[in-house]
């Protein structure tokens, strides 16, 4: 029996997660294992009522689970960034989920905006470093005449930053990106292992021609780690160039490994070429700890309770969860059933169908049991 924590979150999050649970339970029945769910009340409603985002008790309880099934956070009643940083990013950092895994695969029957491309051309995985770069929270704003100094300590980072301001009107904002050798090494090693299991091609994305310090270190570590994987074909590309090649020649990519910020950007492009955010799933992975699986779309509060949201990204994330805990055949069956649902035309409005959220979940769960 597998124990899985569930955070439905806000907006459509609880609805799409419920459909994902339905499908995963069908897979458990089909492949003779059990899932025990434990729901966690984390999100906008609790924050508005109590002021709490994630408590120490929440984190201690969640640490007992190998996997978290996550919906979405975001609510118009809460200023942007509070829920996202206080819940989603906090979970990623607290559990050291240093790999953000994003499959970019075009399924048969799904339209891509790339002319002349088909499911044979779009099948890659982006491995995004998930805990460093410009997301570590080292930054600030200040203004005023004279010497202004800002100090911040976060985890292992202790930085003093000062600028002379010439007038009261001057204002400075800054954000510092941090790459560590160990942080780069572990995520690149993960990407190498993944590429070994796929088509043995690994591409590194950076901007070392301009941001030479942080991404120069990234390149050094990439070269050192991949030297131990001699059967892999490897190459470097700059982030601006990779956006062009994703559009022109997506078939040339297999596994792409990238620092945090660039991964955040190019995976949204990847989501669009695979058919849109309704099909885009992600995993936040700590191979030795607690990992979290989620759709990468937002909470879409205007669709809350309407039974119209597309649950397929969440179901795909559920397939990734099953693969992570070792139920690989069940994971494949979930993805097979999802693809069959698309070919059968059982999809929500955003994909050209007329099915409700619950209809899609029901249909895919039935296919999991019958295929």
Q: Which residues are catalytic?
A: 135, 207, 240, 264, 268
Within 8 A by CB and 6+ apart from 216, the residues are: 208
Residues forming a β-bridge with 102? 126
Cα–Cα–Cα angle for 363, 101, 329, rounded to 5 degrees? 45
DSSP string, 112-157: -SSTT--TTT-EEEEEEE-SSBTTS--EEEEE-SEEEEEEEEETTE
Q: What is the DSSP letter of 85?
A: I
CA-closest candidate to residue 310, choices 264, 256, 346: 346
CA-closest candidate to residue 189, choices 224, 238, 241: 224
Alpha helices in 67-114 (DSSP H): 82-83, 90-94
How many CB atoms lie under 10 A from the CB of residue 36?
8
Q: Which pair of structure tokens corresponds to residue 117?
A: 């491309």
d(CA 301, CA 365): 26
Q: Which pair of structure tokens corresponds to residue 304?
A: 């809350």
DSSP string, 205-263: EE-TTTSHHHHHHHHHHHHHHHTT-TTSEEEEEEHHHHHHHHHH-GGG-SEEEE-HHHH
Cα–Cα–Cα angle for 97, 9, 138, rounded to 5 degrees? 45
Cα–Cα–Cα angle for 172, 132, 124, rounded to 5 degrees? 120
């Amino acid at each position: 029996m597998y124990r899985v924590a569930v955070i439905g979150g806000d907006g459509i999050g609880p609805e799409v997660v419920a459909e994902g649970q339905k499908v995963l339970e069908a897979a458990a029945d089909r492949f003779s294992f059990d899932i025990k769910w434990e729901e966690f009340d984390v999100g906008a409603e609790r924050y508005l009522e109590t002021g709490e985002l994630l408590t120490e008790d929440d984190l201690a309880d969640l640490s007992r689970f190998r996997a978290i099934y996550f919906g979405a956070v975001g609510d118009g009643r809460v200023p942007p960034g509070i829920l996202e940083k206080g819940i989603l990013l906090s979970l990623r950092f607290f559990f050291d989920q240093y790999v953000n895994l994003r499959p970019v695969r075009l399924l048969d029957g799904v339209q891509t905006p790339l002319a002349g491309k088909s499911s044979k051309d779009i099948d890659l995985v982006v491995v995004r470093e998930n805990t460093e770069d410009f997301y570590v929270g080292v930054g600030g704003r200040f203004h005023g005449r004279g010497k202004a100094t800002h100090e911040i300590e976060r985890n292992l980072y202790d930085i003093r930053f000062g600028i002379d301001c010439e007038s009261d009107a001057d204002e400075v904002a800054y954000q510092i990106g941090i790459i560590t050798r160990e942080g780069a090494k572990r995520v690149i090693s993960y990407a190498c292992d993944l590429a070994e299991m796929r088509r043995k091609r690994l591409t590194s994305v950076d901007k070392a021609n301009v941001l030479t310090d942080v991404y120069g270190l990234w390149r050094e570590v990439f070269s050192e780690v991949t030297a131990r994987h001699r059967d892999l074909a490897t190459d470097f590309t700059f982030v601006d160039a990779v956006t062009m090649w994703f559009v022109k020649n997506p078939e040339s990519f297999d596994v792409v490994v990238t620092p945090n910020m660039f991964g955040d950007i190019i995976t949204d492009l990847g989501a669009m070429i695979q058919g849109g955010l309704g099909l885009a799933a992600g995993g936040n992975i700590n191979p030795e700890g607690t990992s979290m699986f989620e759709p990468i779309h937002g909470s879409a509060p205007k669709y809350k309770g309407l039974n119209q949201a597309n649950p397929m990204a969440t179901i795909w994330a559920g397939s990734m969860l099953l693969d992570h805990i070792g139920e690989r055949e069940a994971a494949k069956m979930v993805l097979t059933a999802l693809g069959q649902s698309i070919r059968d035309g059982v999809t929500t409005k955003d994909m050209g169908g007329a099915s409700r959220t619950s209809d899609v979940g029901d249909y895919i769960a039935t296919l999991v049991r019958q295929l």
